[in-house]
Amino acid sequence: MSNLELALIILGMFIVTYGIRVVLFAGAHRAEIPEWLDKALKFVPISVLTAIIAPMSLTNSEGLALSLLNPWFVGALTSLLIGLVFKRQLLTICVGVLVFFLMKLFVGG
Amino acid sequence: MNAYKNAQRGAFASIPMIIGGVPFGLLFGSLAAANDLSIWFAIAMSSIVFAGSAQFVALGLIAADAPLWVIILTTFVVNLRHILYAADMLRFVRHLPLRLRLLMGFGLIDETYAAVRPMYDMGSANKADGHQVYIGSFLSFYLMWNVTTVLGALAGELIPGISDWGLEFAMVATFIGIVTPYLKSVPYWGAFGVAIIASVTLKEMPNHLGLILATLLAVLVGYCLDRYSEVDKKRGAANV
């Protein structure tokens, strides 16, 4: 590819990426969000974060991997339980990560 | 608290995700080099485009000799989820001056949204200082992303197999730590359950479309359950 083509790729990707991220922010002072949409958007954080990590935690290249030998599944489950019981974010992260790496060490995968 | 302290809090809240991102920055740099792309191209991608998964997709498309418009259109689809983040963040940024909003738009990535957005709900960020927390989060991530891109491009083979170590699990655990405080009422549990089932079911869809669909579905279910429980409450009150 020529340098011009590569520069155009960067420019084009920048325009669409930044455009998507900034278009609402740029007009934020006059944008009116209807109340129902505002209420619905409150569910975006939990929905998108869960949708990002669920496939990583519950599946592998072969499909569902709900096995107690799967470090991803067991680590995520541990984090979830710790988070629900103790409600301490740092503890949730540390214990989950510890369980994950210990399992990876001993079980592999 | 001053601006610097707030930015520091944002950076601190992002540490697990920064660690999780390190192998990907290294991988991106080394893959660019492996595809005979110059280090300047890799640096320009990470510093100007600044979009993790879209950068990887673009590398694949370049390697496959895809035309420019396909690369740009795919980037658009892969990053579409960010518009949901922007819509959700609007209520916290609309009072800020335009130049701040333009800067914050540049840094609206998964990790910063994930780290900072819930802080508004949990009371550790507000309209007065939230943007400082946000900028601290995104600048620290931006720094890591660009440093690791350069390192990866210079010495991609230095740490063989680092992408197989599972450092991304730090992100999984962090997201769970962010999500669990929300799980206090039926609508949030509903959104959580639907997000799991839908994202796993739709996993094979290309370009994150499954992720976007699963998110929309979960938001819809959460919203409907919320409406339903509100109507229920009103009816209950009317009966008293």
pLDDT tens for each residue of A2-42? 889 999 999 999 999 999 999 999 987 777 778 898 899 88
Contacts of A72 in chain B (CB under 8 A): 166, 169, 172
Report the Cα B182 to chain-centroid distance in Å: 18
Nearest to A20 among B82, B183, B226 (CB): B82
| Rounded-to-integer distance, Cα B28 and Cα B24, Å | 6
Token pair 């920055």: residue: B25
pLDDT of B21 higher than 90: no
For the residues A69-98, what does the mean pLDDT come to?
93
Indicate the pLDDT class of residue B234, thresholds 50, 70 and 90: confident
Angle at B116 between CA B113 and CA B119, to 5 degrees: 135
Q: What is the pLDDT of residue B162?
A: 59
Q: What is the pLDDT of residue B237?
A: 65
pLDDT of B119 higher than 90: yes
Q: What is the pLDDT of residue B105?
A: 97
Per the CB < 8 Å rule, is A13 touching B71?
A: yes
A&B contacts, CB < 8 Å:
255
Question: What is the sign, positive or negative, of the torsion defined by CA atoms of B224, B226, B227, B229?
Answer: positive
Q: Could you tell me the residue ranges of all domains in chain A?
A: 1-31, 34-107
Indicate the pLDDT class of residue A74, thresholds 50, 70 and 90: very high
Helix %, strand %, coil % of chain B (to 5)? 80, 0, 20
For the residues B5-26, what does the mean pLDDT come to?
91
Q: What is the pLDDT of residue B239?
A: 60
Nearest to B177 among A5, A57, A83 (CB): A83
For the residues A87-105, what does the mean pLDDT come to?
91
* Burial class of residue A17, CB neighbours in 10 A (0-12, 13-18, 19+): buried
Indicate the pLDDT class of residue B157, thresholds 50, 70 and 90: low
pLDDT of A106 higher than 90: no
Among the ranges given (B79-88, B148-157, B158-167), the one the predictor scored with the smallest mean pLDDT: B158-167
Indicate the pLDDT class of residue B169, thresholds 50, 70 and 90: confident
Is-contact B131 B9, C-beta < 8 A?
no
Nearest to A49 among B86, B98, B179 (CB): B179
Is-contact B33 B156, C-beta < 8 A?
yes
Q: Which two tokens stand for residue A53?
A: 């990590």
**What is the average pLDDT value for chain B, to the nearest integer?**
89
Q: What is the pLDDT of residue A33?
A: 77
Q: How far is A103 from chain B (nearest CA, A)?
A: 11
Among the ranges given (A14-18, A21-25, B69-73, B168-172), the one the predictor scored with the smallest mean pLDDT: B168-172
User: With an 8 Å Cβ cutoff, is B56 touching chain A?
Assistant: no
pLDDT of B163 higher than 70: no
- At B180-210, the pLDDT tens digits run 989 999 999 999 999 999 999 999 988 778 8
Q: What is the pLDDT of residue B35?
A: 78
User: With an 8 Å Cβ cutoff, is B81 touching chain A?
Assistant: yes
Indicate the pLDDT class of residue B211, thresholds 50, 70 and 90: confident
For the residues B128-142, what does the mean pLDDT come to?
96
Neighbours of A48 (CB within 10 A): 29
Per the CB < 8 Å rule, is B222 touching A46?
A: yes
The percentage of residues in chain B with a pLDDT greater than 90, rounded to a whole number, is 59
**What is the average pLDDT value for chain A, to the nearest integer?**
91
Q: How far is B70 from chain A (nearest CA, A)?
A: 10
| Rounded-to-integer distance, Cα B221 and Cα B159, Å | 44
- At B52-66, the pLDDT tens digits run 888 988 888 888 788
Helix (H, G, I), strand (E, B) or coil at B107: coil
- At B29-47, the pLDDT tens digits run 988 887 788 899 999 999 9
Neighbours of B177 (CB within 10 A): 25
For the residues B14-29, what does the mean pLDDT come to?
88
What ipTM does the predicted assembly reach? 0.90
Nearest to A21 among B86, B88, B172 (CB): B86
Per the CB < 8 Å rule, is B81 touching A16?
A: no
